[in-house]
Amino acid sequence: MEKDIVEEYRRKGFKRRGLLSGLFFIGDANAPQEGETCGLAITSLVLGVISLVGPGPFTAIPGVILGHLSMARIYQAGGKLKGNGLAIAGLVTGYVALSLTVSLLLYFFVISPEMERRERRQMEQQMAEVSAQVEQLAHQLGATLRGAAGSFAKNAPSARAPRATTVSRRAVNTIPHVVRTVDYSADIEKNEKAVMVAFERIVSAQERFKSSNGHYAGTLRSLPVSENELSVSGYRMSMMGSTENFRITALPEEHGKTGRRSFYADETGVIRANTTMRATKNDAPATL
């Protein structure tokens, strides 16, 4: 009986080539017809194309597996099955989707956190430098006033010397307060308000972009908004987007001069702020 089955396979043009022959050609019902296109190859190509525009590895992995299986089946059929090009296309699209997925995972979980840490260190360094400059200026002004007060008290009449000394001490004690109030409050408030307005425009533009294209824009240049509407003096803005989410960040170019807060927003539309480091989704909502 077994010899009859083997002879029948050979008569129809099939050869036993390992395990795949048992998987695909068991009985006449599974035997391919002359000129037939392999269904596995078609399925592999469809899954590969879908993986490029949406689910990613959830369809890319099955597409790659079916691509390899279809090529094995076409080879085993001895020329009776077609679709080798479809199988190759399915493999290519599947592997490309897997490569993109791996690249995105590396960016979001390795590269992006490292960039955030570097920017946080730079901001902390800038804040430390500004604080050191303020303290140095306060010390210099205090020393200057103390020297002037001492000279005035030495040359003034003795009856008025105590009053001059008292006045000079008060002036010296108020120096740090004077230095702290000489800031850029008006410009900072203006810049931070402009950032929040720009964020609202970006969120609105992203919603329109997704309704038209099925996914969020990946960069600011991809949005249907002019650069003038998104540019904010004194702040560096950036955006990263994917199919289902996006995030926007804005950092002051000089902390304490062009802005005191960093800002963050995502697809939820909530704008968040942080006064000490780079803002994230865990910070409190920003207020004017």
Confidence of residue 223 (pLDDT cuts 50, 70, 90): confident
Q: What pLDDT is recorded for position 64?
A: 92
CA 215 to chain centre: 15
Q: How confident is the model at residue 23 (pLDDT cuts 50, 70, 90)?
A: very low
Q: Which residues pair with 255 in a beta bridge?
A: 259
pLDDT at 21: 39
Helix H, strand E, coil C: the string for 21-46 is HHHHCCCHHHCCCCCEECHHHHHHHH
Q: Predicted confidence band at 285 (pLDDT cuts at 50, 70, 90)?
A: very high
pLDDT classification of 178: cutoffs 50, 70, 90: very low
pLDDT in tens, 270-281: 999 999 889 999
- pLDDT tens readout for residues 37-46: 888 999 999 9
For 176, other C-beta atoms within 10 Å of its C-beta total 16
Neighbours of 94 (CB within 10 A): 29
**What is residue 53's predicted lDDT score, i.e. its pLDDT?**
85
**For 56-83, what is each residue's pLDDT tens digit?**
788 889 989 999 999 998 888 887 888 8
* Cβ pair 62, 36 in contact under 8 A: no
Among 18-22, 40-44, 255-259, the range with the most confident prediction by mean pLDDT is 40-44
Surface-to-core class of residue 147, CB atoms within 10 Å of its CB (0-12 exposed, 13-18 middle, 19+ buried): exposed
Query: Could you give the residue ranges of the DSSP H alpha helices within the chain?
Result: 2-11, 19-24, 39-53, 57-76, 84-106, 112-155, 161-173, 175-181, 185-213, 227-230
Q: Hey, which of 13-22, 91-100, 130-139, 170-179 has the most confident mean pLDDT?
A: 91-100
Question: For residue 223, what are the contacts with CB-CB under 8 A and spacing of at least 6?
Answer: 202, 205, 206, 209, 217, 230
Select the more confidently predicted residue: 52 or 174. 52
Is residue 163 within 8 A of residue 151, CB to CB? The reply is no
Query: To the nearest whole number, what is the mean pLDDT of the chain?
Result: 79
Phi, psi of 253, rounded to the nearest 5 degrees: -65, -40
pLDDT surpasses 80 at 114: yes
Please name the amino acid found at residue 241. Answer: G
- pLDDT at site 6: 44
Q: Please compute the mean of the pLDDT values over residues 147-172 and round it to a whole number.
A: 56
pLDDT at 277: 87
